[in-house]
Amino acid sequence: MTAHNLFNYNSSEEHVNKSMISNTTDTLKAIDLFAGIGGIRTGFSNVFGSNIDFVFSSEIDKNAQKTYYLNYNEIPYGDITSIEASEIPTHDIILAGFPCQAFSVAGL
């Protein structure tokens, strides 16, 4: 099943057809980059359920790593620029967090 087939578009409302996702036997592998505390992962987990397996995560911020661990019982790798591409497992989906630097008050 392709990702395109997982979505059922209604002329009045766009939505994900969860029954199509839950009926597939394919398990997609995902990586979670710039993961923060895992918010994007939560959304994908809610939609794909047991049909998604998170095989890698990366987050540079130590406090976010601690929270990610509390949320998912795994510690993300640190700085993505220090990780060799060969160390990242094969995957079907790349999740990447939205850069928060522009919205942070930490540097003011």
Enumerate the active-site residues: 100
- Token pair belonging to 21: 């996702």
CA distance 24 to 86: 29
3-state secondary structure of 85: helix
Within 10 angstroms of residue 46's Cβ, the number of other Cβ atoms is 10
